[in-house]
Amino acid sequence: MLIGKYLTKYYKKYLPLFIIGILALLAVDYISTEIPLILGDIVNNFEEYQANQNELLVLILRVVLYALGIFAGRIIWRICIFRASVRIQAGLRRDMFLKAERLSTSYYHNNKVGNIMAWFTTDIETIGDFFSWGTVMLIDAFFMTGIVIFKMITVSGWLTLFAAIPILLIMIWGFFVEKIMGKQWEDRQVAFDRLYDFANENFTGIRVIKAFVKEHQEINAFRKVALKNKEVNYKFAMTSVVFDVILESVIFLVLGLIFGLGAYFAVMNAHGNPVVIAGTTIDLRIGDVVAFSGLFDSLIWPMIALGQIVIMRSRSKTSLKRITHFLDTPEDIQNPKNPIILKKAKGEIEFRNFTFQYPDDNKPILNNISFKINPGEVIGIVGRIGAGKTTIMNILMRLYNVAPNSVFIDGNDIMQLDIESLRNNIAYAPQDNFLFSDKISKNIAFSVSNEENSKIVEAAKFADVHSNINEFPNGYDTVSGERGVTLSGGQKQRISLARAFYKHAPIMIMDDTVSAVDIKTEENILDHIANERKGMTTIVIASRVSTVKNMDKILVLADGGIDGFGSHDELIKTSKVYQKMVFLQQLEEEVEGGKK
C-alpha cells in the first residue's frame, strides 16, 4: 500500500470499489489455478476418460465455464479498480488546484511553473498507476503466489522447492533495487521539471527570442537540458531493464529446470524405477508434470509483478513525497478567526504608519507612510519605478500580510476582513494586462457567471475599446489568444480595464492601465471615470502626470515614503518630486513638438 495523510480519505471513499474489484481479482486468480489441475488430470487418466466420454465432456465444460468466469471477473476488477484510480487522481489534482489557489503570490515567485506542472501531471499519474496496476500486482504477487505454491506442493513437494528459488531471489534483489530506483526516479522527475520549465519559458518569450535572433542559442541551451534529462532517464531505464532481465532470466531458467527434472522423474516412474530423495519416493506422472508446469506458468506473472511492484512503489513514494510537500506548504494568506464580512464597501481607505518589506529584500519598500482616501474620490498615484505604487495595490488586494492596525477599509483593519468579501469589493486592472485565451466578451465579463451583452458593450465603451472590437471580423466573439497574443498592447490594456469596470465594484484599481494608449484615448477614459464612477472610489497608478493632474488627489511616492499628497495645484507648490515630473514631461512635450 501507499500510505500518506492525503490518501486516507480516498481509501475510505472508494473502499467499496476496491473491495468489489479485489474480490473479483481474487476469484480470477483462484479459478485460473484450477485449469492446470484439470488438464493434468485429463492427461493422467486419459484412457479412463476415453472409455467414459461423458466425464471428459464435463471436465471440458468446467474449463469453458472457468474461462468465462475469468473473462467476467477481469471486466469487473478492471472497471472497479481503474475507476477508483482515476477518481483518486481527479481528487488529488483538485486538492492540489485548490491549494494552488490559496497559496500567496510570494510562493509563485520562488517556485517555477515547470516544477508545479510536473507535480500536477507526471507525479499524479504515477500515483494513479500504483492504485490501478499496483493494486493488481500487489494482489497477484501475494495471493496468487500463495495459492499456486500451495497447489504445487500438492502435486510435487520437491519440484516446488526448486520453484521457490526465484521467489527468494526476487525478494532479496527487490529490497536493494527499491532504494536505487526511488532515488533515480526522483532525479528523473527533477530533470523533467527543468525541461518543462525551460520549454515553458521559451514558448512564453518566443517573441523576444525571435526579435533578438537567439533561436540557435536557445536551441543549444535546450539541447543541454534535454541531454541531462536523457541521461537521467537512460540511467533509470537501464536499471529497470537490468532488473527485469535478471528477474525473467531466473524465472525461465527455473522453468527449464522444472521441465527437465519433471520429465526425468516421470520417465523413471513410468519405467518402474521411481527416484528416491531423502527417503522419499517421487512417483510423478506425465499429467502431474503438465499440471505443475501449468501452475508454474501461472506463477510467472505474479513473480514479474512482485518485481514490478518494487519499481512502481519506489516511484510512487517519490511522487507522493513531492505532492505531500506541495500540499503541506504553509498558506500565508488566511482568514482570521471570526472575520468581518465586507458586504458593500463605501470605499474609504486609510494607511496608518504603514511599513512593508518584501521577504527577499534588505530594506522596506514603503516605510512609515500614512494617507487617507475618502469614499468616492478619484486618486492618482505616481512615482519612480520601484517606488512602491504596485505594492500598495497588492496590499489592498490582500495578496500579502501586513502589520495589524496599519491598513483600513471603511474603518476596518484589513487583517480582520474576510478575504473573499474584500476582493469582491475591489475591481482590478493589473499592470500586466493578462487576458485568457477566450472570446473578448468572456474576458470582459470574467467577474460573473452569466454575461450580459449590453453590460459588456458598456464596459468596452468605458475603456474606449468598443470601436476596435467591432473592427475585428468576429467582433466580441474574437478569441484573444493565449495571454492576448492577437491583440496590441493598448487593446489588451483597455480590455483589461473594461473587465475591471464590468464588475462595478465600490473600489476600482487601475495599475498603469493607460500607459500604452494615445493621449486622446487616455482623455476619453479619464472622462468616463469622472462621469461613470461618481460616488465610487477609483485609484489610478500612472507614469504620466497628464493622467492624474485633474484627479481629486495625487499621491507621490519617493524613497520609500510619501513626498506629497494633494491636488495638482498643491503638489506643484509642495512636492519637489512632483515638480520634477511635471518639468520633465513638459520638456518631453516641447521636444516632441519641435520634432514635428
Residues 228, 359 share a domain: no
* Better-scored residue on pLDDT, 15 or 311: 15
Model confidence pLDDT, tens digit, residues 409-437: 999 999 999 999 999 999 998 877 778 87
Residue 7 is classified by DSSP as T
Report the C-alpha gap between 121 and 73 in whole angstroms: 31
Q: Do the domain assignments include residue 132? A: yes
Residues 552, 513 share a domain: yes
Q: Do the domain assignments include residue 339? A: no
- State the amino acid at position 141 in one-letter form: A
Which is nearest to 342 in space by CA: 251, 226, 423, 436? 423
Q: Do the domain assignments include residue 143? A: yes
In this prediction, residue 254 has a pLDDT band, given cuts at 50, 70 and 90, of: confident
What is the average per-residue pLDDT within 8-17? 90
pLDDT of 233 higher than 60: yes
Q: Do the domain assignments include residue 434? A: yes
* Better-scored residue on pLDDT, 21 or 474: 21
Give the CATH number for residue 225: 1.20.1560.10
Residue 462, domain extent: 349-595
Residues 385, 317 share a domain: no
* Better-scored residue on pLDDT, 45 or 478: 478
What is the average per-residue pLDDT within 180-204? 76
Element (H, E) at 345: none
In this prediction, residue 596 has a pLDDT band, given cuts at 50, 70 and 90, of: very low
pLDDT of 345 higher than 60: yes
Which is nearest to 552 in space by CA: 357, 407, 349? 349
Residues 63, 13 share a domain: yes
Average pLDDT in the chain: 84
pLDDT of 595 higher than 60: no
Model confidence pLDDT, tens digit, residues 293-323: 788 777 777 777 776 777 788 778 888 888 9
pLDDT value at residue 373: 93
Q: Do the domain assignments include residue 331? A: no
pLDDT value at residue 174: 64
Residues 363, 221 share a domain: no
CB burial of residue 529 (10 Å; 0-12, 13-18, 19+): buried
pLDDT value at residue 272: 75
pLDDT value at residue 491: 85
Residues 357, 310 share a domain: no
Cβ partners under 8 Å of residue 118, min gap 6:
189, 192, 193, 196
Residues 275, 391 share a domain: no
Stated pTM of the model: 0.70
pLDDT of 407 higher than 90: yes
Scan for cell 537567439, then name that residue: 214
pLDDT value at residue 170: 66
In this prediction, residue 178 has a pLDDT band, given cuts at 50, 70 and 90, of: low
pLDDT of 461 higher than 80: yes
What is the average per-residue pLDDT within 130-147? 85
How many domains does the structure of the chain reveal? 2
pLDDT value at residue 253: 79
C-alpha cell at 397: 488586494
Report the C-alpha gap between 551 and 545 in whole angstroms: 11
| From 27-31, 110-114, 519-523, the region with the lowest mean pLDDT | 110-114
Element (H, E) at 537: strand 537-541
Residues 302, 359 share a domain: no
Q: Quote the percentage of the chain above a pLDDT of 70.
A: 93
User: Can you spell out the DSSP letters for 162-176?
Assistant: HHHHHHHHHHHHHHH
Residues 385, 282 share a domain: no
Residue 341 is classified by DSSP as P
pLDDT value at residue 167: 66
C-alpha cell at 428: 482590478
Report the C-alpha gap between 345 and 86 in whole angstroms: 44
In this prediction, residue 588 has a pLDDT band, given cuts at 50, 70 and 90, of: low
Element (H, E) at 278: none
pLDDT of 289 higher than 50: yes
Residues 281, 242 share a domain: yes
What is the average per-residue pLDDT within 466-475? 87
Q: Do the domain assignments include residue 337? A: no
Give the CATH number for residue 574: 3.40.50.300
Report the C-alpha gap between 556 and 546 in whole angstroms: 14
pLDDT of 529 higher than 60: yes
In this prediction, residue 284 has a pLDDT band, given cuts at 50, 70 and 90, of: confident
Residues 407, 294 share a domain: no
In this prediction, residue 82 has a pLDDT band, given cuts at 50, 70 and 90, of: very high
Residues 175, 63 share a domain: yes
What is the average per-residue pLDDT within 81-107? 89
Q: Do the domain assignments include residue 251? A: yes
CB 291 within 8 A of CB 39: yes
Cβ partners under 8 Å of residue 106, min gap 6:
332, 358, 359, 400
Asked which of 324, 339, 363 is the last residue of a domain, the reply is 324
Element (H, E) at 300: helix 286-327
Model confidence pLDDT, tens digit, residues 21-43: 999 999 998 888 888 888 877 77
| Summary count for the chain: helices (H), strands (E) | 23, 12
Asked which of 308, 324, 340 is the last residue of a domain, the reply is 324
Q: Do the domain assignments include residue 332? A: no
| From 63-72, 218-227, 476-485, the region with the lowest mean pLDDT | 476-485
In this prediction, residue 171 has a pLDDT band, given cuts at 50, 70 and 90, of: low
